[in-house]
Amino acid sequence: MKISLLTDAPKHNLPLMKISNWHKKNGDGVMLNGPVFPSDYKYASILFDRNINNFIADEYGGPAFKDSILDPEFERMKPDYGLYNLDYSLGYTYRPCSNDCFFCKVPKFNHPDTDHHSIFEFHDTKFKKICLLNNNTFQDPKWLETFEEIWDAGLSVIDENGYDLRLINDEKAAALKKTKFIGKLHFAWDRMQDGPLILEGLKTLRKHKISGSGVYVLIGYNTTHEEDIYRCQKITENKQDVYIMPYKKTKHNMRFKRFMSTFMWRKYKTIGDAWADYK
C-alpha cells in the first residue's frame, strides 16, 4: 500500500510519526505532505481549526477535531524519526494537565492516557537530545523519574512546552538546574490570581541561580494594562526575560509587545516609566 500523511504541523507531528512507523514495518510506502503522491489511504492530522477544510483524507485526527484519539495499535509504536529527519527523540512521559486554563485546548482533549511513561518508550538511543511534549511535567507524581532517566542517559533537553512556575519548589528547581537544556527554559504567567505562587516560583528560581529564562505573559484577555506592566516588572526584577503573548492583537497590545521586545525599558528605573516615555 501507498500511504499519504498530511498535516499543518510546522515542525513535527508525533501521531503521524507513529502511524508512519507502523505502516513501514508492514511493508507500506509512506509520503509526508506529498502533493502529487498517488496513495491508497490518506491520514490527516490537523493542529489548527482554520485548516480543517484544507486537507482531503480518509481518516482525520489532531487537536482541531474534538475527541480525536490515536488508534492504540499506532499509539504503542515508536516514532519514525526519519519522517521529519529529526536528530532528537520526541514524546510524552506524562500527558495530562489539570489546570483548565481558559485559552488552552489540552484539558478538553479526550485522551485516556494518564499514566507515567519511561522516556525509553520513545527515545532512540542514537540521539543525545530529547524533546518532551508533556503538557505539565511537574504534575506527574513520578516527574523525578523522568529527569533521572535523562541524566543517566546523558541527554540534553529541548524545552518545547515549558514548566509550571506555580509548582516550582527547591527540589524541582534543583532538577532544572542540573539538567542540560538546549536554549532557554520556558515558563508563563497568564493569570493575575496566580500571582503569589508565581512570585514564589520566581524567587525559588533566583535562589538556585536560574536566570535568563523566558516567561510568557498573556495580555489582552482579562487583565488591565497596569496588571500587565506589574507582571513584566516582577519577572524582570527576578532576572528572567519577558515574552508578551497578545490574546487579542489590538493596536495597543501589539505596540506593548514591540515595546517590551526593544529592551529600551532597561534604561529606566521601572517598566512603567519607560512605557510613559515610549508613548
pLDDT in tens, the chain (279 residues): 999 999 999 899 999 999 999 999 999 999 998 766 689 999 999 998 899 999 999 999 998 888 888 999 999 999 999 999 999 999 999 988 777 666 666 655 666 678 999 999 999 999 999 999 999 999 999 999 999 999 999 999 998 889 999 999 999 999 999 999 999 999 999 999 999 999 999 999 999 999 999 999 999 999 999 999 999 999 999 999 999 999 999 999 999 999 999 989 999 999 999 999 987
**Burial annotation 62-99 (CB, 10 A radius, 16+ → b, else e):** bbbeeebebeeebbebbbbbebbebebbbbbbbbbbeb
Residue in the structure block whose three cell numbers are 509512506? 30
What phi and psi values does residue 274 have, to the nearest 5 degrees? Answer: -65, -40
Q: Tell me how far apart the alpha carbons of residues 92 and 96 are, in angstroms, rounded to a whole number.
A: 10
Q: Which of 48, 82, 78 is nearest to 62 (CA)?
A: 48
CB 191 within 8 A of CB 153: no
All three cell numbers of 222, joined, read: 482579562
Q: What is the pTM of this model?
A: 0.90
